[in-house]
């Protein structure tokens, strides 16, 4: 029975993360255009910030949380389900390949380097936000 509950938590988080990814990607595409993968870029950076923040809050502030959803359940639903469906690393790789394939090396390198560097910075910012009192 526990396994079914865990499956349900991951499925719920994944559904919400996928919907958030779609909505933000579509909105950013309409706002900034699609000549550069702005939607995926913004989703990946915000996903990094969120995962850094959430994981730190879960580990440092909600350790003794008891109730119908404990820390392990929240981790499954939010970190695995929601953030796993929300962030788009495979899409990032595919779009990077497309830019390189099309000969747009400058945009490809800008996209790759800024995504990696700002993603790492985003994780650090999320951790600092979680620890900020």
pLDDT of 7: 96
Give the pair of three-digit tokens for residue 124: 């650090």
Q: Which residues of 94-120 are buried (b: 16+ CB within 10 A; e: fewer)?
A: ebbeebeeeeeeebbeebbeebeebbe
Q: pLDDT grade, residue 72 (50/70/90)? A: confident
Predicted confidence (pLDDT) per residue in 92-130, tens digit: 998 999 999 999 999 999 999 999 999 999 999 999 999
Task: Please report, in angstroms and rounded to a whole number, the separation of the first and last CA atoms in the chain.
Answer: 39
Mean pLDDT of the chain: 92
Q: pTM of the predicted model, to two decimals?
A: 0.80
Q: Is the dihedral of CA 13, 15, 20, 22 positive or negative?
A: positive
Domain ranges of the chain: 2-131
Q: pLDDT grade, residue 21 (50/70/90)? A: very high
pLDDT of 121: 97
């Amino acid at each position: 029975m526990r396994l079914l509950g865990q499956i349900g938590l991951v499925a719920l988080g994944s559904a919400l993360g996928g919907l958030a990814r779609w909505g933000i990607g579509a909105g950013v595409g309409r706002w900034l255009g699609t000549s550069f993968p702005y939607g995926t870029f913004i989703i990946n950076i915000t996903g990094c910030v969120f995962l850094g923040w959430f994981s730190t809050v879960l580990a440092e502030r909600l350790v003794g949380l008891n109730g119908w959803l404990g820390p392990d359940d929240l981790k499954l639903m939010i970190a695995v389900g929601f953030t796993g469906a929300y962030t788009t690393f495979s899409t990032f790789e595919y779009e990077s390949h497309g830019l390189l394939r099309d000969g747009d090396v400058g945009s490809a390198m800008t996209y790759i380097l800024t995504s990696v560097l700002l993603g790492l910075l985003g994780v650090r910012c999320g951790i600092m936000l979680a620890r900020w009192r």
